[in-house]
Amino acid sequence: MQEMGFKLSWQVVEKEASILPVGGIIAKVLLNNGLNEDDERLIPYLDGKRSGQPYFNFYLDYFLPGKPAYIKNELPDAREVIELIHSLGGVAVLAHPGSAISLDENEEILYKLIERGLDGLEAYSTYHSPKEVIKFTTWAKEEGVLITAGSDFHGKLKPEVKLGGVDGNDYQLLTRLKGRANR
């Protein structure tokens, strides 16, 4: 971020982060440290069309693949992650698949994940349009995987998202998850 001309102290970022200084935390410090108020690149996040969820929107605009502050990292193999989740008694669910996968273009990725032991899809998500919810729920039912719901609540990092505030979030979901975990 400093190489891009933003004024930011890494020590302040580390202090703000509870465990790992992720993009949303970096954005929070950058937008609130008082050192970048005259930077025109930040106007949309401070007082413009991206100010509703400024930290999350900054993350989307700067830290995702292909964006200016993206840093490539090594991700673990999906099979290893799914096996670890299962070995710990958990249920492996792909969170908000619509943020990365289009059923029209990438359905084979989901089939590979199911072959590796994926238990379910978070079909109901604040990331998904109503049309995507229908596509993912229909697909999950056809493939026999769990359908889950997640609001993707992140507190102050995503203030427009309410905890549990998503369709499909009911007690039957918990019962199905427990049933899958106990198999």
Q: What is the pLDDT of residues 60-81, one digit of tens each?
A: 899 988 999 998 988 889 999 9
Within 17-123, residue ranges assigned H as helices are: 23-32, 43-47, 54-62, 78-87, 103-115
What is the per-residue pLDDT for 165? 59
Whole-model pTM: value is 0.68
What is the per-residue pLDDT for 18? 78
Q: Which of these, 54, 73, 25, 49, lies nearest to 1 by C-alpha position?
A: 25
What is the per-residue pLDDT for 105? 77
- pLDDT band with cut points at 50, 70 and 90 for residue 23: confident
Query: Between 143 and 97, where is the model more confident?
Result: 143
Per-chain mean pLDDT for the chain: 85
- Residues 122 and 93 sit within 8 Å (Cβ to Cβ): yes
Residue 43 has pLDDT above 90, yes or no: yes
Q: Is 117 left (phi over 0), alpha (psi -120 to 50) or beta?
A: left
Query: Between 123 and 45, where is the model more confident?
Result: 45
